[in-house]
Amino acid sequence: MIDILLGLLWPQKGEIVVDDVKVDLDNLRMWQKNIGYVSQHIYLSDDTIARNIAFGVLDDEIDQQAVIHAAKLANIHDFVTTELPDSYETEVGERGVRLSGGQRQRIGIARALYNNPSILVFDEATSALDGITEDAILEAIHNLMHKKTIIIIAHRLSTVKECDEIFMLEKGQIASRGTYQELLSGDSQFRKMARAYDRGESL
């Protein structure tokens, strides 16, 4: 579904409609420019923090203010400026080896925010993180609420607890939808998942 929303796959039937406008081959690139994407595994090149945030942008075209703004929204700016030896010019090492998983993930969020997209997609972006690190990432996501349209794909219920609307999918179909509390009170399957999650069982 997310590949279809991102325009990487084309629907075999049905259509994507955004604000009453159908997404087609003529406006696909315009639609994609509105989207920032954060995956489960963030690729970092053996380069500086700034270049990893402005990934793919030529050196003389990097907007340093946009880099800093994106880092602040992603809750990584203070770490970069107070704990790294060369601030935004610090080299991260191959695949970001000098950074923790949570720090790499927040750089991934900053990268997604660099071009100021109106929509952010988090694709299992916290699933590989421990609980404490996930909380830091969720704080960064919560900072963006009501500033961006945020689409979160997750199996951890803690990740979607604050969402305005949750869609439960089963076999490619929407099985249920609502807020966390609405699903908790009105959907037995969701309630069962929530209880299992609270007990620390895998879903």
Same domain, 45 and 145: yes
Q: Can you tell me the distance from the alpha carbon of 64 to that of 54, in angstroms, rounded to the nearest whole number? A: 9
Confidence of residue 129 (pLDDT cuts 50, 70, 90): low
Structural domain of 29: 1-33
Confidence of residue 26 (pLDDT cuts 50, 70, 90): very high
Same domain, 86 and 17: no
Residue 39 Cα distances to 28, 123, 151, angstroms: 21, 5, 12
Task: Calculate the average pLDDT of the chain.
Answer: 85
More confident site: 97 or 163:
163
Confidence of residue 185 (pLDDT cuts 50, 70, 90): confident
**Predicted local distance difference test score (pLDDT) of residue 124:** 80
**Predicted local distance difference test score (pLDDT) of residue 87:** 94
Same domain, 156 and 78: yes
Lowest mean pLDDT segment, chosen from 15-19, 111-115, 157-161: 157-161
Instruction: Give the burial class of 139: count Cβ atoms within 10 A of its Cβ; 0-12 exposed, 13-18 middle, 19 or more buried.
Output: exposed
Q: Can you tell me the distance from the alpha carbon of 145 to that of 122, in angstroms, rounded to the nearest whole number? A: 13
Same domain, 79 and 155: yes
Question: What φ, ψ does residue 196 adopt, rounded to 5°?
Answer: -65, -40
Q: What stretches of 48-130 show up as alpha helix (H) in DSSP?
A: 49-53, 64-73, 77-83, 101-113
Residue type present at position 151: I
Instruction: State the total domains in the chain.
Output: 3
Q: Can you tell me the distance from the alpha carbon of 15 to that of 23, in angstroms, rounded to the nearest whole number? A: 7
Same domain, 185 and 131: no
**Predicted local distance difference test score (pLDDT) of residue 119:** 92
- Residue-wise pLDDT tens digits, 131-171: 666 777 777 777 777 788 899 888 777 788 888 999 988 88
**Predicted local distance difference test score (pLDDT) of residue 194:** 79
Residues of the chain with pLDDT > 70: what percent? 93
Residues noted as catalytic: 124
Same domain, 118 and 202: no
